[in-house]
Amino acid sequence: MALSILGGLPLPGITRNLLTVGMFVLLSLTVVSPQPGDFLAASAANAAAEVLMAARVVVALCLLWAGHRGWRGLQRRPHPFLPN
């Protein structure tokens, strides 16, 4: 998100808020995710791990898109700290 701001193309408010909430929820679910043990079937723990991994990939792709967008905006500027 810092590249987006420096590039002069900050993410719109709703997009920024959804991305931040998504990262917070993903972190929270990762912390409380089921661990394989005697009280939980290993298949349920594996399914939860697969879902969390897919969510991490989606968040990483969103962050990659925002970073690429900001990097292009930063390259278009005559100087990083001067307005266009």
Q: By CB neighbour count within 10 A (0-12 exposed, 13-18 middle, 19+ buried), where does 74 fall?
A: middle
Q: Are 44 and 34 in contact (CB under 8 A)?
A: yes
Q: Would you say the C-alpha torsion 4, 8, 9, 11 has a positive or negative sign?
A: positive
Q: How confident is the model at residue 84 (pLDDT cuts 50, 70, 90)?
A: low
User: Is the pLDDT higher at 84 or at 67?
Assistant: 67
Q: Give pLDDT tens digits for 43-62.
A: 777 788 888 899 999 999 98
CA pair distance 53, 79, nearest whole angstrom: 38
Q: What is the pLDDT of residues 2-37, one digit of tens each?
A: 777 777 778 888 988 988 898 999 988 888 776 666
Q: What is the pLDDT of residue 78?
A: 81
